Structure 1
Amino acid sequence: MREQLDLPLTGVRTRAEFEALPLVPRGWAWELRSGRLELSLMPVTFWYSRIVFCVLEFWRSHGYEIAGDQYIADSGFARGDTGHHNFVADGVVFQPGHQPGKHSTTHDPSSLFAVVEAVWQPTQVREAIDKLRVYAMLGIQHYWIIRGDTESDDLDGFVSMYELTGSEYKLTGSRLVSQLSAS
């Protein structure tokens, strides 16, 4: 059974209150989302970090500016802060010629050419599909979802490549990440 925290629903928390939170198992973390403190699985494993870097490097080698772990914000749908309607993408690829500011942390969807997500658990796959609909509404041209094999020690991943056609994404290709450098 989950332990209930006896804290007010709103207001500033003290350091003592934060430090009194129950310890969580390795791979989990307390995360502030939409003004709520939630216990979240933090999937930043070696595979996850490496596979996102490999895909972003593919885009960079083709002349695009890239960034990892970036907020998609500042649109009519996502309001430009770290609120409920914003998403953090595992990687973003900027429109040709777009140079993000040195200290930028959120990005207008119109400046994005592609979004990259890496998943390896069923809940992450569902979240990636939910994001697919939102990124289509925001008009981002490409959405790549990388799936990992939890049963294998292989560091490769399978990329499903979606392209915006009208108001929704269509699957336009798929391949292993290791095959990207050959294209």
Structure 2
Amino acid sequence: MSSYANLEEYNIQITNEIKERYLSIIEEIGEETKREGLLKTPERAAKAMLFLTQGYKQDAATILKSAMFEETYNEMVIVKDIELYSLCEHHMLPFFGKAHIAYIPNGRIVGLSKLPRIVDVFARRLQVQERLTEQILDCINETLEPQGVAVVIEASHMCMMMRGVQKQNSVTTTSGFRGSFHREETRNEFLKLISSRLS
């Protein structure tokens, strides 16, 4: 018996329903669904879609609240180069890149691992990059209530790279700021720090 165990869990009824839809799509584009390489593709695709959209079942604010601590530190906290992978809601093709998040505490800090977690919560949905930026920003601002929050996302979109204009080297950057990051000096410090490579 193989020692391999798949630890992911899926609702069987929902998985089967999505599987049947993928089977129909494969047939409609002209492929042979009984070909060896495609026998398990509808099920794999169904599970992949459920995994890539699991953010609908997660609550980002609850994740942040699970690791908030009172602390007097009141300088900028930055977590940068957070990998993100999402699906464009217009074509359901991937976009991927990095998020950079900063906040200035106002009596409370949050466990650093929770910031990448909330990026994943919002990224694992059908998205546009602009909304993703705003959702991350607003969640931190409303839950942690810091002096200020900043979010910058840099991403490449497969809908631009594989189809349409087919520009392989284009990168889209979105940003959002709340509170003290509306001050030019604070915002510029953040932008300088995320663009630097500290040794």
Alignment TM-score > 0.5, same fold: no
Bigger relative contact order (CA 8 A; separation at least 6): 2
Q: Which one has the largest radius of gyration?
A: 2
